[in-house]
Structure 1
Amino acid sequence: MKKIAVLTSGGDSPGMNAAVRAVVRTAIYNDIEVYGIYHGYQGLINDDIHQLDLGAVGDTIQRGGTFLYSARCPEFKEESVRQRGIENLRKRGIEGLVVIGGDGSYRGAQRISEECKDIQTIGVPGTIDNDINGTDFTIGFDTALNTIIESVDKIRDTASSHARTFIIEVMGRDCGDLALWAGLSVGAETIILPEVDTDIKEIAERIENGIKRGKKHSIIMVAEGCMSGEECSKELLKYINVDARVSVLGHIQRGGSPSGQDRVLASRLGGYAVELLLDGKTALGVGIRNNALTSTPFEEIFRNNKHEFDYNMFKLTKELSI
């Protein structure tokens, strides 16, 4: 293998730059030319592809976002559009493609591997939601988690000062890991997740019991995949009269300098992706399980689909929030 390319796709996550850096430097160390595809799959079909050298990834490991940029590209689902992108790779002699992103990004990489046997593809999990099957953690999850913790710690100060119930809406469309881990970390009284049925009346009763024993404020953590913070507030006030306020953390969760854990994870996974390409592997998503690097076929990732939810951790949060 003489030439590979790398792109970032879907929602950005802290640590993507560190992963690109690892791909580029591992490849160059092994005498492979590396090309950066700008603006994700949109850049692939628009031929926005440029060679990267060591200097191109200097001073990037600590930066959030992605210097390669990212974009949604629904038209890449069309075979004729994908063929344009494949031809842009072929005319440069690119034999391997590393795709850093989430589920949709992986599906694009799988299609390329199916339709173009002379180009290998490897997926690297980059998403704050931690919703990719085949890995314990995704790049960006830890940084987003710490952003939420820092924000809620500040919100708790004002919640305590005014004896209020704060409803914190965090990201997590289909996976509640951010809400679960953050809720446990900040001592939230209630965590509402897409994986678990929610009884708002029962939540109201728990808050009321807390007030009766002298509790002055409460934190409710809501994953956006269940309901919005405003919807949660309206339902809650049907059962209890409290001063409820909603805080939607929004895209602040995607930003910021990546944590040490995300920098290390991104570096390990990016380097491993290149190693797999050198070994002739394709159509695999890399990951980490029990601190060991792993690879899982795209087909298996999509077949199981759902990231494994930790019900024991959820049970613990209920026990600790009495």
Structure 2
Amino acid sequence: MKTIGVLTSGGDSPGMNAAVRAVVRKAIYHNLNVYGIYQGYAGLMAGNIKKLELGSVGDIIHRGGTVLYTARSEEFKTLEGQQKGIEQLKKHGIEGLVVIGGDGSYRGAQKLTEHGFPCIGLPGTIDNDIAGTDYTIGFNTALHTVIDAIDKIRDTATSHERTFIIEVMGRHAGDIALWAGLAGGAETIIIPEIGFKLEDVVGRIKSGQKRGKKHTIIVLAEGVSSGVDFAKLIERETQLETRVSVLGHIQRGGTPTAFDRVLSSRLGGRAVELLMDGKAGRAVGMEKNQIVDYSFDEVFSMPHKIDESMYRLSQELSI
């Protein structure tokens, strides 16, 4: 293999640039040509492809977002769209592709592999919801962003003696809410994998009041309920003034942590090695601090699981 491509797809996450940098520089070190594909699969079909050099990825390891930009594409889910993409890859002499993104990005890479075009996937999503890896690129940074917000909101909650609902990202996975809630000392954590009983949430608030506690922090994953709707339930049951903070897309931005930079670099380097070894249809991850890879089929067949022991611990510590 002499020429490879790299693209980022789906939602952006801090550390994607570090992964792109690792792919480009690892490839050039081994005398490969590298092309950057801009705007994800949409850009691939449109032929928005440029050759990258060492300097193309200089000074990006510390930057959030993705210098290759990203987009979602319904057209690429069709056979016609995939064939358009392959035509562009062939036009530029690209023989293998590294795709950085989440579940949808992996499925696009799997389709290309099935059409005979080798792809390797890197888990780029803040939700930490990709199987086959302990951590996804961007999760650690997003976690620090949420914890910082919780710490600041607690100051206000304490000063005004209020209940605060902090809504965080996570439609189907509660990792951000669980980890940030535990680290931020939240009284209640609500995640889609477990759900909630309103009477239990209210009971915790009232129990805290009895021992003199004048504020409450509830971390809520967006996949369970909106913060506004949940706050109405709490006010109805407790008659307590309740405020809502929806952190939204602030969780996706920011300078990647050292952990995310190192993780991205290790995964990106391994992706190039797999392509050089003639491997295809593999998803790279990290388990127990070791770099591993699984077939896309294996990743899709392994359900994402929350660490329920952490959830139980959070309940025990927030009595």
TM range (shorter): over 0.9
Aligned residue for 2:266? 268
Q: Kindly indicate whether the alpha-carbon contact (under 8 Å) linking 1:97 and 1:122 is maintained by their aligned counterparts in 2.
A: yes
Select the residue among 298, 309, 312 that pairs with 2:309.
312
Query: Aligned-pair RMSD on alpha carbons?
Result: 0.7
Aligned residue for 2:137? 139
Counterparts of 1:1-322 in structure 2 under 5 Å?
A: 1-115=1-115, 117=116, 119-304=117-302, 306-322=303-319
Q: Secondary structure at the match of 1:237?
A: helix
Say which is worse superposed, 234-243 or 46-55, in terms of deviation.
Answer: 234-243
Q: Kindly indicate whether the alpha-carbon contact (under 8 Å) linking 1:201 and 1:236 is maintained by their aligned counterparts in 2.
A: no
Superposed displacement of residue 238, structure 1:
2.4
| Runs of 4+ off more than 3 Å | none
Superposed displacement of residue 39, structure 1:
0.2
Count of matched residue pairs: 319
Q: Kindly indicate whether the alpha-carbon contact (under 8 Å) linking 2:235 and 2:241 is maintained by their aligned counterparts in 1.
A: no
Superposed displacement of residue 282, structure 1:
0.5
Aligned partner letter, 2:84: R
Aligned partner letter, 1:308: K
CA distance in 1, matches of 2:163, 2:99: 42
TM-score (normalised: structure 2)? 0.99
Aligned partner letter, 2:266: R
Q: Kindly indicate whether the alpha-carbon contact (under 8 Å) linking 2:167 and 2:219 is maintained by their aligned counterparts in 1.
A: yes
CA distance in 2, matches of 1:40, 1:264: 23
CA distance in 1, matches of 2:110, 2:62: 30
Give the % identical residues.
62
Aligned partner letter, 1:179: A
CA distance in 1, matches of 2:144, 2:316: 23
CA distance in 1, matches of 2:145, 2:53: 32
Gaps of 5+ in 2: none
Aligned partner letter, 2:301: R
Aligned partner letter, 1:318: Q
CA deviation profile, 1:222-251 (whole Å, cap 9, x unmatched):
000111101111111221111110000000
CA distance in 2, matches of 1:235, 1:283: 46
CA distance in 1, matches of 2:195, 2:251: 25
